[in-house]
């Protein structure tokens, strides 16, 4: 039997050819073939120099600052200035130059300029020399306020501040105790054979460490508070 053929085949074929773009095939139907005369030439991509000037322009030389061979100096002009007298007056009236200060590092050493060395006290001539900077004053005020708040809170907790005399007495007592423990530690034998001597040595070392810590705290902190209880 004959093969079935749709009745819409011609219309579908017409629509497909109508809306079919050239780039959807293997390429456009007609491609402009480049001319063989437009080939890439040698030095064609290099920058081109400006056109050469004419010979007339090249013959015009720039004006020279030196005199020409044909020029003649002006003759007969004389100056009435007395150079000898002028030089003598200038030599008498001019002030002598002050020698630049130097310093040497040793007796036969090299010589260096004194001003950039830092040995000259320049900064004492400044207007704000010796004046406490603002940030230090501000920090001291903040520390003072913090200390006052802390002292007020301590007083509320019924705490007592040690006086300087009491603090120094406690500090001297701690140092005396440390010397006694240290002298006891120095009297220990070099070779420790028994367990009791080893434990005694460890005890002395712990006491010395604690005393050193207490001495450091007492020396570091000027204000020390203790409970009234």
69 located within any domain: no
Q: Which residues pair with 161 in a beta bridge?
A: 225
Residue 160 has pLDDT above 80, yes or no: no
CB of 215 closer than 8 Å to CB of 171: yes
208 located within any domain: yes
Reference 161, options 223, 91, 109, 116; nearest CA is 223
> What is the SS3 assignment for 3-17?
CCCCCCHHHHHHHHH
**pLDDT digit string, tens, across residues 88-105:** 999 999 988 888 888 888
CA separation for the pair 51, 125 (Å, rounded): 68
Q: Tell me which DSSP letter residue 106 carries.
A: S
Q: Are residues 146 and 202 in the same domain?
A: no
74 located within any domain: no
Q: Are residues 173 and 214 in the same domain?
A: yes
156's enclosing H/E stretch is helix 134-156
pLDDT band (50, 70, 90) for residue 140: very high
pLDDT band (50, 70, 90) for residue 10: very high
Q: Are residues 132 and 167 in the same domain?
A: no
Residue 45 has pLDDT above 80, yes or no: yes
Of the listed ranges 7-16, 27-36, 68-77, the one predicted with least confidence: 27-36
201 located within any domain: yes
Question: Mean of the per-residue pLDDT values for the chain?
Answer: 83
Residue 63 has pLDDT above 60, yes or no: yes
Range of the domain at 109: 100-158
Residue 58 has pLDDT above 80, yes or no: no
Q: What's the whole-model pTM score?
A: 0.34
Q: Are residues 187 and 216 in the same domain?
A: yes
45 located within any domain: no
Q: Are residues 152 and 170 in the same domain?
A: no
29 located within any domain: no
**pLDDT digit string, tens, across residues 101-119:** 888 888 777 888 888 888 8
15 located within any domain: no
204 located within any domain: yes
Q: Are residues 172 and 130 in the same domain?
A: no
Q: Tell me which DSSP letter residue 167 carries.
A: H
């Amino acid at each position: 039997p004959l093969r079935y053929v749709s009745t819409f085949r011609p219309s579908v074929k017409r629509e497909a050819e109508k809306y079919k773009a050239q780039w959807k095939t293997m390429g456009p139907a007609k491609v402009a073939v480049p001319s063989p005369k437009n080939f890439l030439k040698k030095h064609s991509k290099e920058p081109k120099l400006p056109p050469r000037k004419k010979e007339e322009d090249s013959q015009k030389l720039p004006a020279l600052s030196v005199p020409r061979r044909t020029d003649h100096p002006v003759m007969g002009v004389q100056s009435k200035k007395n150079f000898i007298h002028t030089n003598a007056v200038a030599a008498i009236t001019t002030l002598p130059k002050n020698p630049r200060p130097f310093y040497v590092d040793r007796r036969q050493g090299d010589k260096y300029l004194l001003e950039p060395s830092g040995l000259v006290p320049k900064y004492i001539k400044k207007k704000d020399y010796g004046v406490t900077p603002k940030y230090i004053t501000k920090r001291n005020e903040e520390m003072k306020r913090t200390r006052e708040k802390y002292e007020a809170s301590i007083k509320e907790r019924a705490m007592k501040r040690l006086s300087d005399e009491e603090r120094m007495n406690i500090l001297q007592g701690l140092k005396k105790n440390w010397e006694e423990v240290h002298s006891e530690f120095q009297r220990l034998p070099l070779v420790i054979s028994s367990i009791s001597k080893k434990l005694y040595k460890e005890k002395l070392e712990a006491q010395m460490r604690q005393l050193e810590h207490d001495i450091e705290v007492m020396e570091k902190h000027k204000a020390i508070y203790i409970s009234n209880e």
